[in-house]
Amino acid sequence: MRCALIIAYNGTNFLGSQSQKESKNTVLGALDLALKKINIQTKIVASGRTDRGVHATGQVCHIDVPQYWSDITKLEHALQKVLPTSILIKKIKVVDDTFHARYSAKKRVYRYIIKVGKSNPFEDDFITFIDEIDLFEVQKKIKLFYGTFDFKFFMKSGSDIKSTTRVIYRAFAYKHKDFIVLNFEANGFLRTQIRLMVGALLSLNKDEILDQLECRVKHKIKPAKSNGLYLSKIKY
C-alpha cells in the first residue's frame, strides 16, 4: 500500500533532508528511524531535497507500507509519537501505486522570509534579518525571473544534473506584517538556486540580474542564508 506523507519540519538542526551514509541527522534519516520503530521497512522518496537549515511546511514523501496499516489515522498517530518534535506529520493519504513523490510533481513552491532589523534568539532560526530593503525595487526585479531560463549561473557548483533549464511560473514579493515574503513557483529548482536568486535580488541591479539570466556575465553573489527558506507546497 503506497502512502503519501505531507510533512513540515524545522530544518535548523538537520544536515539537510536527504539521507546520508555518514549521518542519520537528516530529515529522511529521522523519518526512516521512526518508521523502523513501528516495524515498517521501506524506501522513503521525497519530492526533492532541502539543504542544511532549510525548513518545510509542505514537503511530500511516499512510502510503501504493509496492508495492516490501512487505518491511516492509526499510522499517523503511531509515527508522530516516535518522530522528533522538529518533524510534523500534517497528513497521510493512500495513493495509487504509480504515484511518485518526485517524478509526479508538476510544480514546487518556495517562500523566503526576510525581516528588517536586529536579529533575536526567538526568530533567528526562521527568518533572515537584514539592515534595509527597498521592497518596491525588489518587486520590480523579482518579475525578471518569470519564464524559462538556463539557470546555470544560479546554481551551486558540483551538481550532477542533465539540464540547468527551469521554468519559473510565478515570482513575487509582498509584505506581511513585519515580514517581507518572496514567493517562487517553478517546475523545479537547482541546488541553492533560490538562495542565489534572493542574493541577487538583494545585491544586484536589474541589468546585472539579466546578465546572469541570459548567461552573459556571472556576477559575484553571496547566497542568502538558509534559515529564511521554506519549501511551502508541492503541486501534483
Distance CA 64, CA 77 (A): 17
Catalytic (active site) residue 207: no
Distance CA 140, CA 133 (A): 13
Catalytic residue from among 32, 51, 64, 150: 51
**Inter-residue contact 222 to 203 (CB < 8 Å):** yes
Cell 555518514, residue located:
22
Instruction: Report the catalytic residues.
Output: 51
